[in-house]
Amino acid sequence: MTDKELAELIFPNITKTPEDYEKIYPERKLESGAAVSRFAPSPTGFVHMGSLLTTVIERKIPDETNGVFYLRIEDTDQKRSVENGIKGIVDDLKNFEIKIDEGALGEDEEIGDYGPYIQSKRKEIYECYAKDLISKGLAYPCFCTPEELDETRNLQELNKERIGYYGSFAKCRNLSNEERAERIKNGEPYIIRLKSPGNYENKVMFNDLVRGKIVFPENDLDVVLIKSDGLPIYHFAHAIDDHLMRTTHVLRGEEWLSSVPVHIQLFKILGFELPQYAHLGLVMKIDEETGAKRKLSKRKDKEAAVSFYHEQGIPVEAVKLYLMTIGNSNFEEWLNQNPDASINDFKFNFKKMSASGSLFDLEKLINISRNYISRLKAQEVYERALKHSKEFDTEFYELLTKYKDYCVNMFNIEREQKKPRKDYAMFSEIKGYTWYMFDELFTGDINYEFQSINDLEEIKNILKVYLEKYYNEEDDEQTWFERLKDLSEELGYAREVKEYKENPDNYKGHVGDISMVLRVALSSKSMTPNLYQIMKLFGRERLTNRFNLVINK
């Protein structure tokens, strides 16, 4: 029986040939140097922060070269699939504004000419290539049972031999085609294995974009190509899909590094050009309890799920900026020099990636976010706060809607200036910072944080005299402050802090203490943005009402 006849026996329904697929998926018509990259997750329903870093780079390199970025769903390991697993991934990417040029959009929806983009729908394609390899004597059916494979493994361990299905351990490698056909006809279960032409004594070399030149022993393992469920194993699907989808750059986790010799061999046997590989290190964090570095864990770390950022209202741009700082070691410096530039203006460089992985630091991300938000225009802050509260805080959403202009003005306090105020790091924090600006929220039992002046009668008196004699809604900031000093003087407080410090016995306190009383009566807080501007926004009536809450105590 010839190899061709065996192939025909195993895949009688496969009529297409590899040449047919070359025509169906022709080389892409892109400018020379254009990168084609992909994100290839299992349909687990969400994107992990580490993968988000990868996708940001996978999106960036085609952006820099007018290339293509696509989403391929790798669901050949059914154990890793969850219901609606694709939708969760697509939604996470959408929330992060990572545009997919091609690929799966859902279980039954996709865009692009190089699909299907879900591996379980590509069974026929893998079978075509498996059939072709069998017919060329480069692959064969293997009937070894899991028990037999375990036995071989135990033996190898016992004798301290290299683990795997190779050489004399590859029991089914040298069966005759007649015996193979016989066993298949008898209904014996089997898988398809590569008949590796490699020799472990030989070396293969490849150039990793992050790690540089790497030398490995050549692969001599007869790796599985098609499993017993008829679906391909990762290596086989990777070679076929990345070839037919015309991928130029494969970015993936470092756990795949040791498989590169298998991939080099498969690409060669299949007659495909090898893509460029970048094997990325793990994203780690310092464990809060032990202080040791460990992998960022979806189970333990809230910041590992990208939905966390959406819920907290941390701007997508800030997360991307942060990811780029851990992605490229020179990015942060570039950003400091070009604070207003966009990530698009930065040229990504694989050589500036750490091969040993990156350390994820939520505090640092939050800082970047705080900086980012401080640079937004008030109107923009308003719109984003509105959008966030619409989804997560109805009460605040209603206030923002009802008092639109007031809120924009509120957000404009100490903003849109050279050194803007850096207060909010996320939109979920804004209500906690601004609640006293809304009468609806400033009711009930307020815990005033009066500072150095703590006699209630004195406080009441300061507020009363201020309203009666020194408050004028129309004052500019300088006059307003002069009047605070006049008030201080009238009540026995120093006009200047300096005067007080020189002769503390001559005064009850100083103008700072007086303004603190006003600030606290207005907001209940000892720290607020510019008091003058807040008072301006309140206006006489609301200001009087607010002070009366204390005066009438």
To ligand GLU, the closest distance from the beta carbon of 228 in angstroms equals 20
User: What region does 34 belong to: left with phi over 0, alpha with psi -120 to 50, or beta?
Assistant: beta
Which 3 state secondary structure label does DSSP give 510?
strand
To ligand GLU, the closest distance from the beta carbon of 121 in angstroms equals 16
Q: Which is nearer to ligand GLU, 42 or 515 (CB)?
A: 42
- How many angstroms separate the Cα of 23 from the Cα of each of 362, 390, 472? 48, 50, 81
Residue 204, amino acid: V
Place of tokens 């008072």: 535
To ligand GLU, the closest distance from the beta carbon of 301 in angstroms equals 19
Please report, as ranges, the residues that interact with ligand GLU according to CB under 6 A.
Answer: 40-42, 74, 238, 250, 252-253
To ligand GLU, the closest distance from the beta carbon of 59 in angstroms equals 14
To ligand GLU, the closest distance from the beta carbon of 219 in angstroms equals 17
Q: Which is nearer to ligand GLU, 41 or 67 (CB)?
A: 41
- Residue 373's closest CA among 306, 331, 429? 429
To ligand GLU, the closest distance from the beta carbon of 75 in angstroms equals 9
Place of tokens 């922060």: 49
Residue 251, amino acid: L
Q: Give CA–CA dist 396/400, Å, rounded.
A: 6
Q: Which is nearer to ligand GLU, 200 or 256 (CB)?
A: 256
To ligand GLU, the closest distance from the beta carbon of 316 in angstroms equals 23
Strands annotated E in 260-384: 276-280, 283-286, 293-295, 358-359
Q: Which is nearer to ligand GLU, 80 or 352 (CB)?
A: 80
Q: Which is nearer to ligand GLU, 70 or 169 (CB)?
A: 70
H or E segment and range at residue 126: helix 123-135
The crossing angle, in degrees rounded to 10, of helices 177-185 and 3-10 is: 20
Q: Which is nearer to ligand GLU, 41 or 103 (CB)?
A: 41
Q: Which is nearer to ligand GLU, 152 or 247 (CB)?
A: 247
Two structure tokens written together for 181? 């056909």
Q: Which is nearer to ligand GLU, 51 or 177 (CB)?
A: 51
To ligand GLU, the closest distance from the beta carbon of 42 in angstroms equals 5
- Residue 119's closest CA among 197, 229, 254? 229
425: DSSP letter:
S
Encode 409-438: b = buried (16+ Cβ within 10 Å), e = exposed.
Answer: ebbbbebeeeebeebbbbbbbbbeebbbbb
What's the chain's length in residues?
A: 553
To ligand GLU, the closest distance from the beta carbon of 343 in angstroms equals 22
Q: Which is nearer to ligand GLU, 252 or 495 (CB)?
A: 252
Radius of gyration of the chain (CA): 34
Inter-residue contact 249 to 189 (CB < 8 Å): no
